[in-house]
């Protein structure tokens, strides 16, 4: 995969977040995508659950802003640095995104600091995940 394909996919990603048109995830996510949460040890596999997670996180985050992008030499991965608020709590984090040959996301890992911001996000996402995941 070329860096141009990755940059094109990242442009779609930014457009999706600006427009709040989360239906763009359907073309951006590979069917076998895996999401690695900053609060859960086990990864979440599959397009349906990853779509749910990303759609809900963007509703929880306030003042969400990307600051910098870092691309790997092979052009298949990008790291996006961001900041956001969850209620009164401020947080900073990175999205580490890996793409397949078709320019679809196959691995999405998030790291967030400080602990207080992560805990605020975890509390809100935990409620939403409990309603979504089968018992």
Residue 134 lies inside a defined structural domain of this protein? no
Residue 129: band (very low, low, confident or very high) from pLDDT cuts 50, 70, 90: confident
Strands 105-113 and 89-99 turn out to be antiparallel
What average pLDDT does range 2-29 have in this prediction?
93
Whole-prediction pTM = 0.93
pLDDT at residue 51, rounded to an integer? 96
Cα separation, 15 vs 131, in Å, equals 28
Which CATH number belongs to the domain containing residue 105 in this structure? 3.10.450.50
Q: Which domain holds residue 28?
A: 3-129
Cα separation, 104 vs 100, in Å, equals 6
Residue 135 lies inside a defined structural domain of this protein? no
The gap between the terminal CA atoms of the chain, to the nearest Å, is 39
Q: How many domains does the chain have?
A: 1
């Amino acid at each position: 995969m070329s860096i141009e394909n990755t940059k094109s996919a990242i442009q779609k990603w930014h457009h999706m977040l600006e427009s709040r048109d989360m239906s763009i995830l359907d073309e951006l996510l590979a069917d076998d995508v895996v999401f690695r949460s900053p609060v859960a040890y086990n990864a979440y596999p599959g397009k349906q659950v990853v779509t749910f997670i990303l759609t809900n996180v963007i509703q929880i985050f306030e003042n969400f802003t990307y600051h910098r992008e870092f691309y790997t030499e092979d052009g298949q991965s990008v790291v996006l640095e961001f900041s956001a608020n969850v209620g009164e709590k401020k947080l900073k984090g990175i999205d580490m995104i890996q793409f397949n040959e078709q320019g679809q996301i196959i691995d999405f890992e998030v790291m967030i600091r400080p602990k207080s911001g992560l805990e605020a996000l975890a509390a809100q996402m935990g409620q939403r995940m409990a309603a979504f995941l089968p018992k």
